[in-house]
Structure 1
Amino acid sequence: MTKSETTLSKLLVESEFYQECKELLSSLPRDRSFYAEYLYQYQGFWYPPNLLEGVLYSQKHFQARDSDIILVSSPKSGTTWLKSLVFALIHRQEFQTPLESHPLLDNNPHTLVTFIEGFQFHTQDTSPSIFSTHIPLGSLPESVKDSSCKVVYCCRNPKDAFVSLWHFVKRLTLKEMVGCTMEEMVSGFCRGSSVYGPFWDHALEYWKESRENPKKVMFVMYEEMREQPQNSVMRIAEFLGWPFTEKEIENGVLEDIVKLCSLENLSKLEVNEKGKLVNGMETKAFFRKGEIGGWKDTLTPSLAEEIDKTTEQKLIGSDFRFFC
């Protein structure tokens, strides 16, 4: 097959795929959204059209290998930080101290660890390959479920995750955000109509899976990682099969990784202050405060109570609890 024939074949396949997406959208429940004109419900969760296309594409084409590592979270729940930490611990032999030439100094974590629903997963051929996703457990590509690849899920308190998402969307100055009040956004969040929502269902599915299949899925709390980063990184490394040796700890390798990947350090790097991703998104949008309990500066007591009530209702019958 010639190059032109290959290109034409690829275009036909892509055209067919987008036509399938268009037809699917017309049949799905939809809801008004602060993030896009509409969110569409697919397999129990809500997506804007572009992200749903990515989910569908990954379900069709992503082929997980046993050595792969998949990092999962709801949006604004520690995704950027988790990517940097896992990338650094996996590649620590390649980029040892001093860390003047570490890739994280010149690359945003989202460039080094790509989203599988971002149509970029074909670019990684290293072993292990590290990918990330916001896709709910039930909608993951079958190859992820069937393979022995490892999954690390990072969970955050819903009020902090919501507030981080609120500021993230405002910072991106999305046109669709005009006229959206925080009250409306909280209402949508609580009824589950937010990007990759319902937030609580997303977390609970992975939490239950981590208990039923602990060798496959590890569930970590963002707040515990912030309070005890070295201990958390050691636990993640052990789970992934890349444990730190006593010599490495004595030589400060673990400490160096935690310092390198700290939000305080990453946010000050030029690539994260002035850089842009391939889609044009400014990298500075991924860094704000990352504080535990930072929601108190943004949410009114009544809005916080609305989220708390939803959380209480969602956790009925479960012994899982979010970090307060």
Structure 2
Amino acid sequence: METSKIFPSVETPDEGHQNTFKNCDELLPTLPQSKGWWVDQLFQYQGFWIHSLGIRGSMLINDHFKPRPTDIIVATSPKCGTTWLRALLFSIINRASFDFNRHPLRKANPRELVPFFEGIIHKDGSTSFVDGIPSPRLLSTHLPYSLFPTRMTDDTSACRFVYICRDPKDVLVSKWHFANKLRPKGVPPLSLEEVFDLFCKGVSHYGSFWDHVLGYWKASLESPKKVLCLKYEDVKKEPLGCVRKVANFLGVPFTPEEENKEIVEEIVKLCSFENMSNQDVNKSDTRSQENPISNSDFFRKGEVGDWANHLSPQMSEILDQITEQKFQGTGFSFH
């Protein structure tokens, strides 16, 4: 399916958007900076290390985004199952619209069907692209929960967030592989020791992994009807139960008739790593200036526990200690 048939055309930016761009451009040089994991610069913004696109997107969301009661935000820290969650939510919400044998996910990468919020909020300099998407809007984000405006996060807003997180040891290894795929030819690869040090310090795209998780976890405790937190490991272990849980949370539970037709099983099968990674569209390794990340870059292993093949026992112990310390007393655990 061509995304042009799903999403609207874009208008010219107005003065309000230009002011946000100007404010962002003036702000960036004043922020603490660090080298990113591939080539881009990271800036410390409201407690998180974020690249300029994410900061500009966050500022535009705060200044101009008009939430709707039916909006669904697919939220993740990078390399926690973003592609998988996008596919699952798109399939759940649109399950009555498409035949599984001719489903859009067989022809399009999930990022084409669930657009990257802070990336497309200023497509061609305007928010009209997002404004024109028909409801219910599915938007994917890596932004920390605290960076969203209160009109999206307070209890008077019906806008909902579905968040997935993952064992930080697997996140680190996945992010390391991903970063080295994206580093230009001629630029030396990052060593595992280097990224381990940065990850532990929170100098990583979208900031400290642990702070990112805690932001959404605490929000899910305070507003359980607004924020749902999933664990990658649980979705791998009990995919059918997790899909039902998401559908219930979104107010579109599966009917007895759908259960009899095994629609839940069809969604899980369609969105499985094995099925999606074998689609021709997801085997593409084409990169461009507009899309510096190829579809194939999003599919490596999708396994739980692959960290054991890479991390030393000392690295594993340090990460577990940080996790225990950060999550102590919060009620959150990966075990």
TM alignment of 1:126-145, pairs within 5 A: 126-145=134-153
Cross-structure match for 1:69:
72
Residue 195 of structure 1 deviates from its aligned partner by: 0.6
Amino acid at match of 2:333: R
Q: Which position in structure 2 is the counterpart of 1:53?
A: 56
Aligned positions, number: 314
Match of residue 151, structure 1, among 146, 150, 161: 161
Output the amino acid matched with 1:71: V
Q: Which runs of 5+ in 1 are unaligned?
A: 1-5
Q: Find the counterpart in structure 2 of residue 163 from structure 1.
A: 173
> Conserved in 2, the CA contact under 8 Å of 1:224 and 1:232?
yes
> Residues 176 and 35 (structure 1 numbering): CA distance in 2 closer, same or farther, change over 3 Å?
farther
Partner SS state of residue 101, structure 2: coil
Residue 43 of structure 1 pairs with residue 55 of structure 2: no
- CA–CA separation in structure 2 for the residues paired with 1:267 and 1:300: 29
For 1:118, give the aligned amino acid.
G
DSSP 3-state at the match of 2:230:
strand
Change (3 A) 1:275 1:182: closer
In the alignment, which residue of structure 2 is the partner of 1:184? Answer: 194
Contiguous gaps of at least 5 residues in structure 2: 1-10, 122-126
Distance 1:320 1:280 in 2: 35
State the match for 2:262 in structure 1: 252
Contact 2:80 2:232 in 1 (8 A): yes
Counterpart in the other structure of 1:234: 244
Instruction: Give the TM-score taking structure 1 as reference length.
Output: 0.90
Q: Could you say which residue in structure 2 is the equivalent of 1:101?
A: 102
Note if contact 1:62-1:143 (Cα within 8 Å) is conserved in structure 2.
no
- Superposed displacement of residue 284, structure 1: 0.3
Report the alpha carbon displacement of residue 11 of structure 1 after superposing the two structures with TM: 6.8
Q: What residue is the counterpart of 1:3 in the other structure?
A: none
| Conservation of the 8 A alpha-carbon contact between 1:186 and 1:307 | no
Task: Decide whether the 8 Å contact of 2:43 with 2:51 is kept in 1.
Answer: yes
- CA deviation map 1:190-223 (0-9, x unaligned): 1111011110011011111111110111111111
Instruction: Report the counterpart of residue 125 of structure 1 in structure 2.
Output: 133
CA distance in 2, matches of 1:273, 1:95: 23
Hey, what does 2:124 align to over in structure 1? none
> What's the Cα RMSD here?
2.1
1:124-176 deviations in Å (ceiling 9; x for gaps): 53221111111111101333224211111101110111111111111223469
Whether the 8 Å CA contact 1:72–1:151 is kept in 2: the answer is yes
Query: What CA deviation, in whole Å up to 9, does each residue of 1:55-93 have, x standing for no partner?
Result: 222222222100111111100101100010010011011
Task: Identify if the C-alpha distance between structure 1 residues 50 and 175 changes in structure 2 by more than 3 Å, giving closer, same or farther.
Answer: farther
Q: Does the alignment pair 1:221 with 2:221?
A: no
- CA–CA distance in structure 2, aligned partners of residues 223 and 186 of structure 1: 22
| Cα contact 1:85–1:261 (8 A) shared by 2 | yes
The question of 1:308 aligning with 2:320 is answered yes
**Of 32, 52, 70, which residue of structure 2 is paired with 1:29?**
32
Per-residue deviation, 1:184: 1.4
1:79 and 2:82 matched: yes
Q: Write the distance in 2 (CA, Å) between the matches of 1:156 and 1:293.
A: 10
Counterpart in the other structure of 1:299? 311
Moved more, 60-69 or 116-125: 116-125
SS at 1:259 equivalent = helix
Contact in 1 for aligned 2:43/2:50 (Cα 8 Å): yes
Question: Structure 2: how far apart are the matches of 1:132 and 1:179?
Answer: 28
Q: Which residue of 1 aligns with 2:23?
A: 20
Which residue identity is paired with 2:324?
A: E
Q: Work out whether residues 153 and 206 of structure 1, in 8 Å CA contact, stay in contact via their aligned partners in 2.
A: yes
Letter in 2 for 1:79: T
Rounded to whole Å, the distance in 1 between the matches of 2:148 and 2:285 is 30
Q: Which moves more between the two structures, 269-278 or 77-86?
A: 269-278
Percent pairwise identity: 43
